[in-house]
Amino acid sequence: MKDLVVMDPKEIIARRVSLEIRPKTLVNLGIGIPTLVSDHLTENLGVFFQSENGVVGLGHRPAEGMTDRHLTDAGGTFTSAVPGASIIDSAFSFGLIRGGHLDLTVLGGLQVDAQGHLANWMIPGKFVPGMGGAMDLVTGAKKVIVAMLHSAGGVSKVVPECTLPVTSQRRVDLIVTELAVMAPLDDGLYLLETGPGVSVDEVVAATDADLIIKGDVPQMDLSRTA
Amino acid sequence: MKDLVVMDPKEIIARRVSLEIRPKTLVNLGIGIPTLVSDHLTENLGVFFQSENGVVGLGHRPAEGMTDRHLTDAGGTFTSAVPGASIIDSAFSFGLIRGGHLDLTVLGGLQVDAQGHLANWMIPGKFVPGMGGAMDLVTGAKKVIVAMLHSAGGVSKVVPECTLPVTSQRRVDLIVTELAVMAPLDDGLYLLETGPGVSVDEVVAATDADLIIKGDVPQMDLSRTA
Amino acid sequence: MHLAISMEEAVDMIPDGARVMLSGFMGVGTPDGLVRALAASGKKDLTVLVNDAARPHTGVGPLVTAGCVRKFIGSHIGVNPVVQEKMRSGELEVELVPQGTFVERIRAGGMGLGGILTPTGIGTLIAEGKDVIEIDGKQFLLEKPLRADFALIAARSCDYVGNLTYMLSATNFNPIMALSADVVIAEPEEIVPVGVIPPDAVKTPGILVDHVIKRTV
Amino acid sequence: MHLAISMEEAVDMIPDGARVMLSGFMGVGTPDGLVRALAASGKKDLTVLVNDAARPHTGVGPLVTAGCVRKFIGSHIGVNPVVQEKMRSGELEVELVPQGTFVERIRAGGMGLGGILTPTGIGTLIAEGKDVIEIDGKQFLLEKPLRADFALIAARSCDYVGNLTYMLSATNFNPIMALSADVVIAEPEEIVPVGVIPPDAVKTPGILVDHVIKRTV
């Protein structure tokens, strides 16, 4: 586990998300902040990490000199395989994702709205990275967590309604930023926790979407383990 | 190759069908008479025989004491694998069949009609073996040959229109019996060859379906090789 | 993956009336130990999804012979006279599915697809009551996914993560059925330590397997 | 399967305007020799079907950079600025397909299915102009099969029958694309004698492979 004192916003998000990972599950971590999540995991949970390109049982990044060009993660970065890892082709890999075998996916986001819709694959007229596996992941995973910075360039990424094209009609389950943990439910977006040292008012001020606040909202407890 | 002198009707059919097998093709042989076809093949055609249960590259029946319960053909009989054989699962196996990768299938039949429809999976009220892989094979193979005795219990199996439930709406390409080689085309069922020592009149007399006969009809030449 | 369990524990999980997928092709690649244990347990009203009825004493045969099966879904029942007899008497319901359609529907059930679009069966009895969809001028039958409560899988090797390998033609329906049931129980010929099966040799990742049958010898 | 051919013979087979599937995921599992040879040959107006645009000098990158590609069909182009630039200038047409839909459509193209029924993309831009089919109360997008004139495959080992193996995450789209093109050309890292690859280790049966690239060293 990393030291909390030196944690930057991205590490706060990664640490908080790591607490959502249940033992003996299959988990897919997206590129960017989600990739950081596994570094915060307590050992020996029996979790298997899958990458879209067909590795079931991703390990840590191998040491220099121990890489192999046939073993990479979904970002094309050298990786390793844990004991008991297996390799599947891309059709099988997305069959796992679409077929409900994936317990959890953690993805980055450009926007999430109060209905729980995620937008993360294009900014019309500006930048079109493409959806990669995101549409299948959000549609198919049993649980979807969006892990992203709360705002970009001073603009809230948590919005009343996505203005960017959405990734799926499926409602995500949890949104984790450095300022807040939020859950979209039938009647709106609930504020469940605030970031370390962050007040409810600060979250509300930084958030374009309306937040439903019930009772006392605790701060993230990043000292506990999953 | 087997000796022609002692060939029974089934061996005549199998030998004639074997002449239809082209080099370097993928071929599926059904249970019964079709299984006999490979015994009549000249060596080294580079043909691969597939069985529905996932063997690509079936070999000859292994000698007593050299069988293994993990290597069987579509009839559940012990088989062997040729050098270069591969194993695929059932979804892949039928993907090959349905996807047009199978060059030729040879199947038995209960009835074939003048339109080239095959019936080979049930006799309502009497016996319902089921279609197994036959519906996929007839629908998907590039070429379909029906290999069957010309009649059963004195009744012609080559009929004007199938009275039994058909296996596919796809027209088979060739029908080989001990009495005749026939091809269903747009305008009807053509008699292409007669069996060894069999006259055209004998074929016509033994056949319920109308036969189109153009010019001299040759007898099967079973001495040639594919 | 859970720890290896005994045959009895596995059988106890499966209630009367359960919908059970059983791999194998003419009894090759069928988990024979589980079949025998289920047959001996006197289960009732099972629906079995299995390619073929094999023979009375192979494949799913013993289960049918013992009267445990109410409904058979598969592609071929031609060499099992017990199945033919029970079907005629009305004791056993039989639903016949073309083999390629059968396995692809099972795959669809496990891979989150809404169904399959196949040319197989168009213009035959099999198409009755089903939607035909025209795509670019060609007709396809819409066939729905198949799933089960339990899939009973025969593997060659298994490790304690649940990774499975199969051997030769005993592979057949096993890797597909392992995708498509709520509970997947594997009966391997051997259990090996984790890490012994190379990642590229695994045919069914352990994350799909819920229970593994302990070897008794 | 035909005999092994040279890189030049392979490139000569592929005409301008051809529709070419290219395996690989961020350049891993891409047949780099074929890509380089095609790029050097100055082919024009290719349509490439490949998961991602990788980077300018990896995966399909060199082909795009060299101006050989008219249309890109795949799921991700975010880390290749050359592709972004050519797309903005109108030189390159880009058709984005969700990755799971992409690979399943290719599989359908090779396995004789009329299309796929997937929940992915429902309610998004991807669904525009496509049929939505309701099955048992759930909605699925009907997506059509994808095929190509050529599939260029990167294999680990190959024998002279054309049987292919892949290694670890370099597997990805290779076994699926090998199903779905009129001509399949494999670029293996090694060619081994027939019989050396065990039947259970073969991932693509040789009967699917039309040509194998000769190793030059």
C104-113 pLDDT, tens digit each = 999 999 999 9
- D and B make contact (3+ CB pairs below 8 Å): yes
Residue C177 clears pLDDT 60, i.e. is over it: yes
D207 and B101: CB-CB below 8 Å?
yes
Residue B137 clears pLDDT 50, i.e. is over it: yes
Residue D5 clears pLDDT 60, i.e. is over it: yes
Which 3 state secondary structure label does DSSP give B87?
strand
**Distance separating alpha carbons of residues A30 and D99, to the nearest angstrom:** 14
Residue A32 clears pLDDT 80, i.e. is over it: yes
Closest approach of D196 to chain A, Cα-based (Å): 21
For an interface test with B, give the residue of D161, D164, D180, D197 to mutate (most B CBs within 10 A). Answer: D161
C104 CB near a chain D CB, below 8 Å? yes
A7: alpha, beta or left, given left = phi > 0 and alpha = psi -120 to 50? beta
pLDDT value for C86? 97
User: Nearest residue of D to residue C130 by CA position?
Assistant: D135
Tell me the average pLDDT across B124-147: 96
pLDDT value for D217? 57
We report the CATH number of the domain holding residue B52 as 3.40.1080.10
Residue at A127 is within a domain: yes
pLDDT, tens only, A142-186: 999 999 999 999 999 999 999 999 999 999 999 999 999 999 999
C26 and B70: CB-CB below 8 Å?
no
pLDDT value for A28? 97
B89 and C203: CB-CB below 8 Å?
yes
Chains in contact with C, where contact means 3 or more Cβ–Cβ distances below 8 Å, are A, B, D
For an interface test with C, give the residue of B31, B50, B53, B93 to mutate (most C CBs within 10 A). Answer: B53
Closest approach of C44 to chain B, Cα-based (Å): 25
* Residue A125, number of CB atoms within 10 A of its CB: 7
C161 CB near a chain A CB, below 8 Å? yes
C96 and B128: CB-CB below 8 Å?
yes
The CA distances from residue D73 to A114, D50, D58, D101, D130, in Å, are 33, 6, 17, 12, 17
Residues 6+ apart with CB under 8 A from C74: B130, C48, C49, C50, C51, C52, C53, C95, C96, C97, C102
Residue C131 clears pLDDT 70, i.e. is over it: yes
pLDDT, tens only, C198-211: 999 999 999 999 99
For an interface test with C, give the residue of D103, D131, D135, D136 to mutate (most C CBs within 10 A). Answer: D135
**Distance separating alpha carbons of residues D89 and D163, to the nearest angstrom:** 42
Residues 6+ apart with CB under 8 A from C170: B69, B70, C28, C29, C154, C156
Closest approach of B69 to chain C, Cα-based (Å): 7
Closest approach of B156 to chain D, Cα-based (Å): 34
D99 and A133: CB-CB below 8 Å?
yes
C168 and D199: CB-CB below 8 Å?
yes
Size of interface B-D (CB pairs under 8 A): 56
Banded pLDDT at D49 (limits 50, 70, 90): very high
Residue at A131 is within a domain: yes
pLDDT value for B44? 72
A84 and C206: CB-CB below 8 Å?
yes
Tell me the average pLDDT across C181-185: 98
Which tokens go with D75? 């799921």
Residue at B67 is within a domain: yes
What mean pLDDT is reported for chain A? 94
B213: alpha, beta or left, given left = phi > 0 and alpha = psi -120 to 50? beta
D128 CB near a chain B CB, below 8 Å? no
Nearest to A16 by CA among A25, A4, A6, A32: A4
B43: which DSSP letter?
Answer: S
**Distance separating alpha carbons of residues D68 and A149, to the nearest angstrom:** 39
Q: Which of C114, C136, C201 sits opposite D140 (nearest CB)?
A: C114
C chain contacts of residue D142, beta-carbon cutoff 8 Å: 117, 133, 135
Closest approach of C212 to chain B, Cα-based (Å): 20
Residues of B belonging to the active site: 52
Put simply, the chain C residues between 172 and 191 with a CB less than 8 A from any chain D CB are: none
A26 and C207: CB-CB below 8 Å?
yes
What mean pLDDT is reported for chain B? 94
Number of helices followed by number of strands (H, E) in chain C: 6, 11
- B and A make contact (3+ CB pairs below 8 Å): no
D201 and C199: CB-CB below 8 Å?
no
pLDDT, tens only, D158-209: 999 999 999 999 999 999 999 999 999 999 999 999 999 999 999 999 999 9
Residue B3 clears pLDDT 60, i.e. is over it: no
C chain contacts of residue B128, beta-carbon cutoff 8 Å: 77, 84, 87, 94, 96
Which tokens go with A176? 């984790």
The tally of CA atoms less than 13 A away on the side-chain side of residue C197 is 30
Closest approach of D135 to chain C, Cα-based (Å): 7
Size of interface B-C (CB pairs under 8 A): 143
Structural domain of B84:
4-178
C192 CB near a chain D CB, below 8 Å? no
Percent of chain D with pLDDT over 90: 97
D chain contacts of residue B48, beta-carbon cutoff 8 Å: 205-207
pLDDT, tens only, B75-104: 999 999 999 999 999 999 999 999 999 999
pLDDT value for A1? 45
Say if CB A191 and CB A211 are below 8 A apart. yes
Closest approach of B218 to chain C, Cα-based (Å): 35
The CA distances from residue B65 to B61, B75, C94, C189, in Å, are 11, 19, 37, 21
pLDDT value for B1? 45
Say if CB D25 and CB D155 are below 8 A apart. no
Angle between helix axes A90-98 and D99-110 (nearest 10 degrees) is 120
Chains in contact with A, where contact means 3 or more Cβ–Cβ distances below 8 Å, are C, D
Model confidence pTM above 0.95: yes
pLDDT value for B42? 74
For an interface test with C, give the residue of B87, B88, B117, B131 to mutate (most C CBs within 10 A). Answer: B131
Banded pLDDT at A17 (limits 50, 70, 90): very high
D117 and C117: CB-CB below 8 Å?
yes
Number of domains, chain B: 1
CATH class (in words) of the domain with range C3-115+144-213: alpha beta
β-pair type (A155-156, A151-152)? antiparallel
C116 CB near a chain D CB, below 8 Å? yes
